[in-house]
Amino acid sequence: MSESSEAVFVNVIEVDPNRYEQLMEILKEGNDSVVRHRKGFISCLLLANADRSRVITVARWTSADAIKSVASDPVVAQYVKRTAAVAKATPAVFSVVAEYRP
């Protein structure tokens, strides 16, 4: 266990299950074609609950500054707009305080 300078972007997205597929297309496209190629990107998980009414993205970055840089990217802003058109997102940035592994 150790503290890290890594930062984690967590976005809880509420979506009508009828729009789930559309939301996932936007998120996958944005991560695959844009976000994962940005400086400081480490990884991203896309999580969905069983009834497809909630999706959570968990993206690890080398620093909070890397997240800020991506957040101000106009190409990324277009994906944010597209997401907002189909679902309600609640994003937040967290510091990694500790990580436990087997």
Contacts of 101 (CB under 8 A, 6+ apart): none
pLDDT value at position 1? 44
Q: Is residue 98 a part of any domain in this protein? A: no
pLDDT tens, position by position, for the chain (102 residues)?
Answer: 445 689 999 999 999 999 999 999 999 999 999 999 999 999 999 999 999 999 999 999 999 999 999 999 999 999 999 999 999 999 999 998 888 999
Q: Is residue 95 a part of any domain in this protein? A: no
pLDDT value at position 21? 98
pLDDT value at position 5? 86
- Domain count for the chain, please give it: 1
Q: Is residue 102 a part of any domain in this protein? A: no
Q: Is residue 79 a part of any domain in this protein? A: yes
Q: Structural domain of residue 34, as residue ranges?
A: 7-88
Q: Is residue 94 a part of any domain in this protein? A: no
pLDDT value at position 96? 87
pLDDT value at position 4? 66
Q: Find the distance separating the first CA and the last CA of the chain, reported in whole Å.
A: 11
CATH, residue 26: 3.30.70.100
Entry pTM: 0.90
HEC states along the chain? CCCCCCEEEEEEEEECHHHHHHHHHHHHHHHHHCHHHCCCEEEEEEEECCCCCEEEEEEEECCHHHHHHHHCCHHHHHHHHHHHHHEEEEEEEEECCCCCCC
